[in-house]
Structures are given as structure tokens and as C-alpha cells.
Chains A and B, each alone.
Chain A
Amino acid sequence: MVAAGEVVYPSAAEGVSEFVETYVVGRARDDSRRAAMVDAATELDDVARDWEGAAFADLPADDRDRLLRELGVDAADPVPDGTLSERLRFHVVNELLYAFYASPTGGRLAGIENPIGHPGGAESYRRATMDGPETTDSGGERDG
């Protein structure tokens, strides 16, 4: 999963391996979901060995990216029990993207420190910038 994370996450992401271990693999809501993730990653490894002669994680990042695209994972719909590319999209790519962009780690890169899916408090919506102070109220008293 870490090897896929390095491709799926933008180059500005830091600490990918730790993030993946903690929030993707570690966060999987139940054992069956984690098992499906491991199965999909194993299948990806098998394809990499067949096509490229090496385990997925041992390929250079560019080749990992190309392999996933050649498998059609970029255009595939995420389907938990679908075709190989649909399963890879669901259990590998989207599992990684969900953990990342629904957290401040990925959110911040896209401009939002409290993305949906993350309980980042009921103050951030009042700030003008990611790290700025809350906006001063305008228009009417609200303490009635």
C-alpha cells in the first residue's frame, strides 16, 4: 500500500509511509475491509511480476504509475467486488485517497484544513484563511 501511496499521493505529501501505515491500513474499519485491501495489493503484485518481472513495490515510481494506468484503474469505477481494475480502484487507490483527502493532511494541500469527513471543529468555517483568525461578525446581533 505504501508503494501505491507514493504514486497516488502528490509529491508535496510528506511522511507517506507513516501516513499509510497509520491511517489507511491501521484505520480500516473492519477486518474484512483490511483483508480485501491486502488481497487487492497481492493481486497487484502478481500482475507486476507477470508484466514487469518485479514486485510492485520494487518498481520505480514511474513504472508503478504506468502499470496502474495500463490496468485502467484511473478510469475504472470503484467496485468492491468488481473486475481487477475496479477492485484496485476501490481497495487500493480510493482507500488511499479517502484517508488522505478526508484528513487535514491532504485537505491542506487542496486548500481546506477541515475537509468533509473530518471532525475538525465548528470554528474553521468562520476563518478567512487556513491559519487566520475567525471572521468578525457582521450584520446583526445573534445572542437573542
Chain B
Amino acid sequence: MDRTPVDDADVCIVGAGPAGGLVAHRLAESGATVVVLEAGPRFDGDRREQLEQHIRPGLGGPWEMGGPRDAFSSSGESFYPLNAARVKGVGGSTLHWQGMVMRLHERDFELDSRHGVGADWPIGYDDLQPYYAAAEREFGVAGAADNPYAPPRDEPYPLPAFRPSHSDSIFAEACERLGIDMHSVGNARNSEPYDDRSPCVGYGTCKPVCPSGAKYTAESHVEKAEAAGARVIDRARVRRLEHDEAGERVVAAAYTTPDGETHRQEATQFVLACGGVENVRLLLLSDSDRYPDGLANSSGVVGRYFMDHLFAGAGGRLDRPTRQNHVGFNTSECHQFYDEADPVNGLKLEFLNYAGPSPVIDALHADTWGDDLLDQLDESYGTHVSMGALVEQLPREDNYVGLDRETTDDLGDPVPEIHWSVDEQTEAALSRANEIQARVLDELGVEDRWTVGPDETGPAYHHMGTTRMGDDPESSVVDAECRAHDLDNLWISGSSVFPTGGAMNPTLTIAALSLRLAESLRAELG
């Protein structure tokens, strides 16, 4: 395959996840000459291979993460399992993602003004609302307008919501008695055929792989971008961005291909779309005399304010069948407590359709077989229920992504260092989530209880905040259009620009911002 640079490129996009794929598609469609450089491979071929890799022990992970290419270090109080939290390949982390999508709430854009915490965004919900609607069409979101806590919307979802599960109906009895509202939740997953992709057929393995193609992955937009003329070069790892003498414009992206060759891709405009960790790494690796602390980092905040969402959960068993693990996604959530002021951290509740073990996975790990095994499966499957929750973590300067200069990857570049901890305020919000979950489980009479709270919590794999957006070049990296304050032709797409992260899964917001960015960049190209 030819991996040499494209001549006369208008736009060079680094990264082929949703943040890069959507921009590539929009710009290629508008007639621009677009090249996308993607570090990982294309995962072509039968997805049942990844399915088997996921279910069967002994085959390695489905998306080949965690080798020397992906080395990292974790230096904070809480270990950060970075390679479980991302995928490198055409499609990016959406190859593995679950595909729950929802809009941020209005308050998320103005936490500082309303509550004196975190930061305000330089844009409001109103600015993003039309782009949210466009993003839902791009993903093919299945949803319904039954959520009284959702921010305003003017149009229906492109696809009807998945109907509630049997498990939801069990929770509904208890929630109704407690005055806790259940409602549908957006899914980037086909409830009907959409965009030439299959409807959901119930493989039940959405995370990490949907063999039917019903779950949206950014491969869709990368393919559409290619059909519109974009060139996508896989296994092309960008290692430096080079700027002009004045330090005002990026002139080239230097990338290395599997044969060990290093090439320079020149372009008029550059879009960084490598995810919330690698965006930072690439800027820091691109330091120069003009930008000694890293490219686009006059503010000194590149890498700072790293945030994730934290998981809280609780569950146990009932004395009746709960019918879990048929599908790999959820059909109901509760956003009733999201906007509360005490604790101020956003919080959303999930009713899981995949509680407890799945018989096939248990069987493959068991240390017996025959009737003995079936007895074990009978005992382990069938009566579990559980609730999840995501909790907001507010931005803190001392949570950061940096470079670990002592450790290098297989090309000799310093690896990313994640310095992360969970503060007391977030812990209090996790306890609050556990408290509500416990009320529901008590009401249901759930036994053999377990809880994941402040002591056991882990990240939800949403990397946010590290190249924050703002009006002030002294305290932010990009402006409201996602363009770097320091360099005219450098744009950053993805959740690294979020000043705060709310408690909603981030990718619909990433998509909305990407579509908005594409529009601004298009205007710039003339």
C-alpha cells in the first residue's frame, strides 16, 4: 500500500476516530483535498473473529491494544488503565465503545456561573443544539422524547428507541413506588436498518464488538470520507507537528509508516483528533524553541485538567428470572438527579441489561465440564440485577497528562504519563449514587448485594479536558471554534477541548463539536 504523502492537501487530519472521521467526511464532501493519518490499522474482514477473541480466553484482545506502541505510565494516586480505555485503528475507540449517547445538560456549559465550580464553556447549549441534532443523524441514534430531564430538542430522534427490557420492568415497579423516574436512553445503534447498516440482531457483545454492524462505529464516516475523495493512510503514526518560523502556522505532520520510513505531510490546515491523551502527547512531542513547553502551549495548560467519569454500581440477586445478557446495551436510565446542587457533580443512573455472568463466558473459564458445569451455570446465571451510575469529576489542574521522558515506545518517543486521582467531592457524589441505588435495591428486596463506590470506583474511559476551550489565551488552549489560540491553522477535535465534562458519555458532544469545527474550518478554506 502507498503510504506516501498527498500533494496539495487542504486539510491533514490526525486520527480516524469519530472526531477525525466526521470532520474528514464533511470537508471531503465540500470539495476539500483531505488526508487522514491514522496510527492504527484497518480492521477489515469478518467481525466474528473479534467476537471470538472477546468471548474465548487465550486469543488476546480483539483490537490488539497494549503492545510497545501503546506503552504509557500512570503516576497518580489512582492507577489509570489507559489501554483498556482506547483503541487505535480506523474507527478509533468506537470500535470498542458501548454506544450510549446523550446530550450534555444546559448547566454543564455554565457550572462556574451557576455554582462557582469548574469552568464555563465559551459556548452554551443553544450554540450546540443544532449540531447535536446533526450528530444524532450522523450516528443514527435510537431514542425517544420521554425523558423529562433532557435539555430541549426540536426534532425527533432519527430512529425509534429500543423498547424497555424485561429487567427494566422489574426495576420499574420499585422505582415507581420510590418516585424515581425511568426513561429511555439514546443508543448509537440501529433499532431499524439505517445508513446501510443492519438493525440490532442481539449478539449481546456490543462492547467490545458488534459483529452485525448495528452499533455505530466511526468506520462509517471514514468510509464516506473516502468515497468523497479523502485519502486515509493507516498505520501512519504522527510523531511531530512542525511549524513555520514565526510559530504562527503548522506546516507539516511528520509520520512513520510500518516500513520504518518517515514522511512529511504538508497541508493548509491541520486537525488534531487523536483522543484526549494522544492529542496532548503529540503537542508536547512537538516542542520547539518557539514553543519550549509544547506546541500551542503558551498557556501552560496543555495536558492539565484531565477528567474522566467515575463509575458507581450496585447489584445482587432476586428470587426470579431477570433475563440478563441477551443484548449488550441498556434501555433505561434515570437523569432525575443530574442537575442537583448538592453534590454539584452531575450524576446519572443506569439500569443494566447485562448484570452478572454470561453462561458461555463462565463455561469457558470453568474448571469442570459435563453435568457439573451445567449445575454451576444454573446457579450462576439467571437472577442477577444491577444498576450503574456515572459521576462527574470536576477539572483540577493537578490531574494531568504529560510525557514520561524516561520511558519510550517502540519508535523511541516518550510515552504519555497519566497523573490522575479521585478527589473527595467526586467520592461524595459516588456515595450519593450508591445511596439512591441502595434505595432501589432495598425496595426490590435484592439479596447477595455488592457495591462499587468511592473505594472501588474506576474510570469510564472518557478522556476529557486536556486542551480546554476558552476565550482567554492565558488559560485555555483552543477558542470556541476549537482552533488553537497560538496557531492559526491548528484545530483540535475531541473531548480534550471540554472545559468540564458533565456526567454524560461524551461522544455525542464530540460529534457535535466536530461538525461545528468542520463548518468553521470550511469557511476558512474559502
Contact = CB atoms under 8 A, between A and B. Distances in A.
A114 interface: yes
A134 B323 CA distance: 12
Interface string A22-59: 00000001000000000000000000000000000000
The binding surface of chain B is classed by DSSP as: loop
A98 B56 contact: yes
Given A10-B371, A117-B205, A119-B211, A143 B327 contact: no
A68 to B, nearest CB: 8
B370 A117 contact: no
A14 B199 CA distance: 32
A141 to B, nearest CB: 6
A121 to B, nearest CB: 5
Interface string A89-111: 01001100110111000110111
A110 B327 contact: no
B203 interface: yes
B202 A121 contact: yes
A3 to B, nearest CB: 13
Contacts of B164: 126, 135, 137-139, 142
Contact of A29 (B48, B327, B332): B48
A19 to B, nearest CB: 15
Contacts of A109: 374, 377
Contacts of A127: 166, 323
Interface string B47-71: 0110110011111000000000000
Given A119-B201, A119-B211, A129-B321, A142 B360 contact: no
Contact of B360 (A8, A65, A101, A129): A101
Contact of B370 (A7, A116, A124, A134): A7
Interface string A66-79: 00000000110111
Contacts of B205: 116-117
B37 to A, nearest CB: 32
A144 to B, nearest CB: 3
B55 A119 contact: no
Most chain A CB atoms below 10 A, which of B175, B201, B211, B369:
B369
Interface in B371-388: 371, 373-374, 377-378, 381-382
A143 B144 contact: yes
Interface in B313-346: 321, 323, 325-328, 331-332
Interface string B459-473: 000000000000000
A128 B370 contact: no
A81 B494 CA distance: 41
B201 A121 contact: yes
A29 B45 CA distance: 12
B363 interface: yes
Interface of B: 46, 48-49, 51-52, 55-59, 144-146, 156-157, 160-169, 172, 175-176, 181-184, 191, 199-205, 211-212, 321, 323, 325-328, 331-332, 353, 358-361, 363-364, 367-371, 373-374, 377-378, 381-382
26 contacts: A8-B370, A9-B370, A10-B370, A11-B371, A79-B58, A97-B363, A97-B373, A98-B56, A106-B359, A106-B360, A107-B359, A107-B360, A110-B381, A111-B359, A111-B381, A112-B382, A117-B52, A117-B360, A125-B323, A125-B353, A127-B166, A135-B164, A139-B175, A139-B183, A143-B161, A144-B156
8 smallest CB-CB distances across A and B, nearest first, come from A144-B145, A116-B204, A125-B326, A78-B58, A101-B360, A142-B144, A10-B374, A140-B146
Given A98-B364, A144-B146, 15 more contacts: A10-B374, A79-B58, A97-B363, A101-B360, A112-B381, A115-B360, A116-B55, A116-B328, A119-B203, A124-B323, A135-B169, A138-B164, A139-B183, A142-B184, A143-B161
